[in-house]
Amino acid sequence: MSIVRHQPAKILSGAVEANGMVYVAGTVADKRPATVKAQTEEILGRIDALLALAGSHKSKIVSAQIWLADIRTRDEMNQAWLGWVDANNLPARACVEAKLATPDMLVEIAVIAAK
């Protein structure tokens, strides 16, 4: 089995290809804009880039996990999500509230996609 790691860093790889699947690590906004919608849009752009790097696309996402610092911001996050996700190929998805690494992190998203 071939494993390809993209954007390796000190503690993780941004994405890992294995067995025809692409596993995108939990992704947060680098710029940390003040709104959940803006952070979500930045994160989704980063996910697009990681999927492309691995030869995949958002239409091939099979699963998504979303963590929100405040579940009451789910509608705001969903505005960005619905503007981005392929409506004809919706993935399985979980969205939960969680304490994230720093107070300015409002959302984190991880996806799994087919190649």
Dump pLDDT digits (tens) for 40-90: 999 999 999 999 999 999 999 999 999 999 999 999 999 999 999 999 999
Distance CA 36, CA 100 (A): 13
The pLDDT score that the predictor gives to residue 1 is 82
Residue 32 has pLDDT above 90, yes or no: no
Q: Please return the burial class of 74, using the count of CB atoms within 10 Å of its CB with bins 0-12, 13-18 and 19+.
A: middle
The pLDDT score that the predictor gives to residue 31 is 87
Give the chain's mean pLDDT: 97
What is the CB neighbour count within 10 angstroms for residue 25? 20
Q: Which helix (H) or strand (E) holds 36?
A: helix 36-53
The pLDDT score that the predictor gives to residue 4 is 96
Give the pLDDT band (50/70/90) at residue 12. very high
Give the pLDDT band (50/70/90) at residue 35. very high
The pLDDT score that the predictor gives to residue 76 is 97
The b-or-e profile of 34-71 (16+ CB within 10 A means b, else e) is eebbbbbbbbbebbeebbebbebbbebbeebbbbbbee
pTM over 0.75: yes
